[in-house]
Amino acid sequence: MKANIAAGHRLVLAVARLLLTLRHPALVVRFVMKLGHLPNPAAPESYHERVLWRKIFDRNPLFVTLTDKLAAKAHIRSACPGLALPRTLWSGRDAIDIPLDLLAGNVVVKTNHGCAMNIFVANGDPDRGFIIAKARHWLTKRYGRRDGEWAYRPVVPTVFVEERLALAGSSIATDIKVHVCGGVITHAWVEDKVARRSLLLDRDANPLPGRDPDYPREDQAVPVNARLLDFVRQAISMAPVIAGDLDYIRVDFLVTDRCLYAGEIVVYPGAGYGTTTNPAFAGEIERLWRLDRSHYLRQRHSGLAGVYASALNAKCMIDAGRSHQSPAVGER
């Protein structure tokens, strides 16, 4: 493949790799610690390298909207008005202003600018003082800095209260996560956080082998049933509408006994370090994720940035040609 790229472009990408490695040592070292090999952030090949490249280069303003949990709801409502959304009951800049009656019921207290910032409230437990202290602490944190997840930086930290859904854990699943590249589904990932199980499926909702680090044993596969597959097919049909023409994104859904709800839209899944035992997971994303469709490479650049963008675009053209000659998963 490299022999097909002009010598000048190869030289540019080689120099860019060295400079980027020196300029972003923390991200490179963290990549090596997580995945065990040195990345190429200038001319990425693997799924993990492409997420690293996105962190460094792609400043798509839409990423900020999608990363902001409150703004993402508005985006989903506009793109897919028929999809149910968990109701936002209150939002503000200080948890002390949350109405007392809201915390007496079953709700979720969240912040909009990061992950794993959720307090599940049931019948007034935990108490108001704990919730205020925890939320205030979260609001001071600048999420994503350690892993270079740029899109979190411009989000204005806000605390909000959301209705607590009765998720269908143990009976169906709790989450469906759909990966989309340029409007094409690569695969779906079903998770049951209650029963601690998961399942990988292809774009036609056919179950695939493979486990993930959270649920590594084969006996931790989500049991397949007609209701689950119906929800997966619904999610697969709606995810491209929400994703639009983005080069790559993950669209998440929540599962109740009654229907699907919109979840989150994830720009940097697993901070770019997620792995599975099935190579089709990353392989199909690598086949379909075209960096030349990214916001960065769609922009006009000048100077050294223009030289680099031209070289990377040339590589992308070669890669796209090879990808069209390779059969997709399920066509072999």
Of the candidates 244, 260, 263, the residue with the CA atom closest to the CA atom of residue 252: 263
Place of tokens 């379909």: 288
125 and 258 in a single domain? The answer is no
* Domain count for the chain: 2
Residues 132 and 146 in one domain: yes
Q: Are residues 185 and 261 in the same domain?
A: yes
Distances (CA, A) of 162 to 102, 263, 281: 9, 12, 32
What is the model's pLDDT at position 324?
59
Residues 158 and 12 in one domain: no
**Domain end (from 163, 197, 230):** 163
- Write out the two tokens for 168: 């269908």
How far is 278 from 329, CA to CA, in rounded Å? 12
Contact criterion met (CB below 8 Å) for 64 and 265: no
Q: 157 and 92, same structural domain?
A: yes
Q: Determine the structural domain holding residue 291 and report its residue range.
A: 1-84+166-297+304-332
Distance CA 60, CA 58 (A): 6
| DSSP single-letter state for residue 223 | P
Consecutive 10-residue averages of pLDDT for the chain (332 residues): 70 97 98 98 98 98 98 98 98 96 95 96 94 96 94 97 96 97 97 96 96 91 97 98 98 97 97 93 96 97 97 92 59 40
Are residues 243 and 315 both part of a single domain? yes
144 plus 251 within the same structural domain? no
Do 140 and 199 sit in the same domain of this protein? Answer: no
Report the DSSP pairing between strands 249-255 and 207-208: unpaired
Dist CA 313 CA 298 (whole Å):
10
Q: Which two tokens stand for residue 100?
A: 């007392």
Check whether residue 23 and residue 80 sit in a common domain: yes
**Distance separating the N- and C-terminal Cα atoms of the chain:** 22
Residues 13 and 115 in one domain: no
- Are 16 and 140 within one domain? no
CATH number of the domain that 191 lies in?
A: 3.30.470.20
**What does pTM read for this prediction?**
0.94
Question: What pLDDT was estimated at residue 320?
Answer: 82
Domain boundary among 121, 141, 163: 163
Do 233 and 310 belong to one domain?
A: yes
Q: Which of 164, 186, 183 is nearest to 261 (CA)?
A: 164
Q: Are 249 and 60 in contact (CB under 8 A)?
A: no
The residue among 148, 163, 178 that closes a domain is 163
Q: Do residues 183 and 289 touch, judged by C-beta distance below 8 A?
A: no
